[in-house]
Amino acid sequence: MSRYVERNENDQLDAGTKPADPLPELQLPDPALAGNISIEQTLAQRRSIRSYSDNPLSLSNVSQILWAAQGMTMDKFFRTAPSAGALYPLEVYLIAGNVRGLDVGVYRYAPARHSLIRICDGDRRDELCKASLSQPHIRDAAAVVVIAADYSRTTVKYGTRGIRYVHIEGGCAAENICLQGMSLGIGTCVTGAFDDAKVASILNLPANEDPLLILSIGYV
């Protein structure tokens, strides 16, 4: 069962993040490490899905998708997507609209604890849709994932070349989401056309984070 927990200053922080948030944190169900479909099948069947049913996502499936994007692996240090220098510049945000067991709102995924930190309340899908050239699949999806980046975490070591490395990492995380979604019977669509400043405002992103891409997720 998932449960809200309060963080304190002694909790372990994710690499490169701010000090502990005072907001409640939702512990996600443990991710599964085995599935019923092969990687070859997910590659063959993956498609961009822009039309979704009204069926809600389960919290366990949301947990699995977030873990696929940036979850910690069994060695408890590296993550599911490769990162230049293991510097992990990405931040993953969930905009929940129709997820069983999860209030509508914006959440940040905390990989080290496999949990969600609530950023703000309210259904932001319509706002996000309007900020994304009014593409309806973002409004109609059960939930939306936004991948943002703090470039400085990587450029401090690699200079301007680090910008390319961050983009490579964002693509790896997005493909992980798409393949994980396919294995769960969940449709996904990667979107790159949006107003950066508006998306950052909707999600209340810190000034050092830039949105890279948006993924709508939902049952077909």
In order along its 220 residues, the chain shows pLDDT tens digits of 333 333 333 333 344 444 444 567 999 999 999 988 998 999 999 999 999 999 999 999 999 999 999 999 977 789 999 999 999 999 999 999 999 999 999 999 999 999 999 999 999 999 999 999 999 999 999 999 999 999 999 999 999 999 999 999 999 999 999 999 999 999 999 999 999 999 999 999 999 999 999 999 999 9
Task: Using only the alpha carbons of the chain, give its radius of gyration.
Answer: 16
Q: Which domain holds residue 82?
A: 3-219
Q: Residue 138 sits in a domain of what CATH number?
A: 3.40.109.10
pTM here is 0.88
List the helix and strand counts (H, then E) for the chain.
Answer: 7, 8
The token duo for 73 is 């692996």
Query: Do residues 87 and 154 touch, judged by C-beta distance below 8 A?
Result: yes
Q: Domain count for the chain, please give it.
A: 1
